[in-house]
Amino acid sequence: MPRKARQKSSTKVYHIIVRGNAKQDIFLEKQDYSKFIKEMYQTKEKYRNEIYSYCLMSNHVHLVIYDKKENLSKILQSLTISYSSYWNKKYERVGHLFQDRFLSKSIETQSYLRTVCRYIHQNPCKSGVAEMETYRWSSYQESIKENKIIDEKQVLSLFGQDRQEAINNFIQFHKINKKENKIKDLMEYEMVERLNDEQATKYLIEILQLENIQQVSKYNIKERKDCLRKLKNIKGVSCLQIARITGFSRKMIEVIRNE
C-alpha cells in the first residue's frame, strides 16, 4: 500500500520528529550531540532552510524548520545520512540508525508556532532529564542569544518587536504548563497516520478534557454532537475507531465529520 503524501504547509514551516530505529538511542556521548548540531548547521547552509527551534533527546530529535525552497525530504535525508555515517563508523556498526520515515506536521499559524516551540523546549523537563533552562542540547538558550544555528530573530518576533521585551515574553510564555502532567506525546499523536486504540483513547481524553472515556456514555444527543465537533479534524483516528472507543454511532460521527 503506497504511503500517504505529506501534508504541505502554506507557511512552509514544519514540526519535524526523527527517531532512532526501533526507538534505539542515537546519542550516547556529548560528542554525538555536538556532531548532530554541526550537521544541522551544514545542512542548513546547503539547503538555505531556517531552523526556529530544536531539541535533541537520547533517542529522538525535534525540529521546527522553515523550508523556504521546499526541500524538506532532501534536508532530512541529508541530515540523517550524514549523521548515520558518523555514528556507524564511530560505533563500528551497520544498518539503519533512524526510522525510515520522519514525522512532520505543518504549522499554519503564529500561535501554534509559539506553542510548538514551547513544547519542544519543555521536552527535557517533562521527560525528567533536566530543567528546560539548563538543558544543553536544545535551542531554548539560543533563542534569547545571537547564534549561528537557529534564526532567533524570527522566533523572538513572535513575542514582541523590542528585543528585550520579546525575550522577557518568551521566557514567561515558556514557564506556562512547564510542570503540568499532560500527555507527553500529544503533539506527536497529531503527526502519525494511525493510532492504536490505547493511544487514541488517551488522545481523546486529552482533547475532550475527561477523567476517563466512560464519561461520554452519559452524554445526551446534543452533548455527543458537541463532543464530536471537537474531534472533527483530528488525524490518526478513524470514524470506526472513535465509535469503538466512545460507543457513539459511527453514522453520527461520519455526519459530523462531513459537515
3, pLDDT greater than 80: no
- The pLDDT-based confidence of 189 (bands split at 50, 70, 90) is low
pLDDT, tens digit, for every residue of 198-207?
877 887 887 7
3-state helix, strand, coil in the chain (%, to 5): 50, 10, 40
Report how far residue 253's alpha carbon sits from residue 128's, in angstroms, rounded to the nearest whole number.
38
Angle at 229 between CA 108 and CA 231, to 5 degrees: 65
Report how far residue 54's alpha carbon sits from residue 34's, in angstroms, rounded to the nearest whole number.
13
What's the pTM? 0.73
Task: Identify the pLDDT of residue 25.
Answer: 95
Report how far residue 96's alpha carbon sits from residue 105's, in angstroms, rounded to the nearest whole number.
23
Report how far residue 95's alpha carbon sits from residue 50's, in angstroms, rounded to the nearest whole number.
30
Report how far residue 89's alpha carbon sits from residue 91's, in angstroms, rounded to the nearest whole number.
6
pLDDT, tens digit, for every residue of 86-144?
999 999 998 899 988 898 988 989 988 998 999 999 999 888 899 999 999 999 998 88
pLDDT, tens digit, for every residue of 205-237?
877 878 888 888 788 888 888 888 877 666 667
**Residue found by looking up cell 502519525 in the block:** 192
Angle at 12 between CA 11 and CA 16, to 5 degrees: 120
10 Å CB burial of residue 125 (0-12, 13-18, 19+) is middle
Neighbour tally for 131: CB within 10 Å:
10
The kind and range of the H/E element at 52 are strand 50-56
Neighbour tally for 6: CB within 10 Å:
15
